[in-house]
Structure 1
Amino acid sequence: MLVRRSIALGDLESLLTSTDQQADHAAMRSAIIEDNLLAKGTGQARQNSLRQLTYFYGLDSTMPAFTVFRRLYSHYPREQSILALVLACSHDPVLRSAIAYIVRQPPGSIVSHKALAEVVLKAGATYGPASLHKIAENALASSTMAGITRGVPVRRAEFQPGAASAAYVAWLAHKAGASGSAIFDSALFGCLGLEQAAVREACVEAARRSLLELRAAGNVVEITFRLFEGIIAEAK
C-alpha cells in the first residue's frame, strides 16, 4: 500500500485526537466517512483515507497492537511519530525495508529515490519503474513526517528513539512469537536505527521506566510486559 500513499501522520493525529480511546473500527469509519473528520473533498477520498489508515494502523480498539499503540501515543507525545511509524512498519514490509535503510545512513547524508527503489527491489518486491518511484517518494515522505529525514534534497536527520518506542517494538516481537534475547533480533528495531548492543540498552532503559520487565542471568534473558498486557485486559 506504500505504492499509493505515505503513512499520513496528520490524518492519524486528527483521528486519534477526535475519537474516544475505546473507539472500534466502526466508530473510526463513521468519523472518517460520515462525519468527514479529515476534511476530504470527495467520498472517494474519504474511502481512500480509511483504507490507508486501516492498512497501516488497524484502527480498532479490539486489536492489541493498536490498543497498546494508542495508549502509548497519548502518554508519550514526544514519541508519537516514531510509535506510529513502528506500527506502520509492522504492517508493511516494503516500508520496513525502506525505513531500515534510511536510518542506517549517516546524519546529514542525502537519501535518494534511486537508492530507495533499489532497496525495495532487493527486498523482493516486483514493481515497475513508475511504482518504484512512487514507493520511494512515499517512503521519504513518511520518514520526514516521523522526523527521520528533512529538507530538499532529503537528508537523514538526527533522531533518538525513546524508551516507549523500544518497549513497543520489543512487545510486538514478543507477540509475533519471540522470547528472551530473541526479542532483540526483531527487524523492527532496525527501523529505530538501533544496533544489537543499543537494542539491549534501550530495553534496559524501558525496564527502568517500568515499560517492561527485563531479567538477565548470564546468557539467559527474560522479558515480560505486565504494563502492556494490563492495557489489553483493561480494553476488553
Structure 2
Amino acid sequence: MARVEEPGTVQTPETLLAMETSGDVCSLAVLRKGRLQAERTFRHEMHLSENLPATLEGLCNDAYVTLEQIGAFAVGIGPGSFTGTRIGVMTAKVFAEVYGRPLFGVNALEALAAEYLGLGEAVVLVVLPCRADIVYGAVYDVSDILPKALVEPAAFSVAELEQRMEGFKEKPLILCGPAASDIFRRWQRSFPEHLSLAAFCPEAPRASTVGRLAWLRKERGEAGESPVALAPAYIAPPPISKPKRR
C-alpha cells in the first residue's frame, strides 16, 4: 500500500488537487508544479457521493500526499449533471475553506477545448447534450496556452448555434464534445470545407486537464475564486416536472 504522510505535515504549495464530477465519468487528479502525479477515473453509476471519499483516499495514497498538504484546489463547475456538479463543487469549496487554500473553478466546455491547445488558426466548438434539440456550447480560440472564449458558454438550440457559427466559416472549425457527432452530421452541408470532427475527444472533461488549467492561472498570479462565492455553472435550469393532477 502506498504511504501517506501523517496529518499535520507541512503544506506543499506546488501541489494541486483537481476534481471533475460534472459527467457520468468522473475523475480526480493530483498535480505537482503542473505535472500529473496521479489520476483516478470512474463511472459513478448514480453513486457519486458514496464513491467519492474512497476514490479521493486512494488518489492521495497514489500521490503520496494528504489533503492537509495540498496547496490549491480546482474543480469543474459544469455545465453537466446538476447533482454531480453540485457534489464536486461543494466538496472542493469545503476543502478550500477548511484548509485555507486557493480554489479555482474551471468550466467543463473550456476543459474539453483545452485538449486541442496549439492548433493555430483553428477554432474549437465544444458541445455537450442538454435536452432535446438543445446543447451547451462554446467556441474557443486554442492558439495560446489557455483557451480563449469567442462565444461564451450558453445553452443553444441546434439551429441557433448554427447561425452563431456563420461568422467562423473562414476558419477551420473543429467539433468536439459528447454531442459533436450529432452536430457534425447535421452541419456537413452548411460547412463542407471548414468543418471537421475531432478524431478523439474525452467522454467527459478530465480532472488532470482541469488541474493544468488551474495551475496555469495560478502561475499567472490569479488568486482564484472565493470558496463562498463559487457556484456551479448550470447555465440552463434543471427540468422540473409539473405535479400530477388528481
TM value normalised by structure 1: 0.30
Q: Which has the larger radius of gyration?
A: 2
Higher helix fraction: Structure 1 or Structure 2? Answer: 1
Higher strand fraction: Structure 1 or Structure 2? Answer: 2
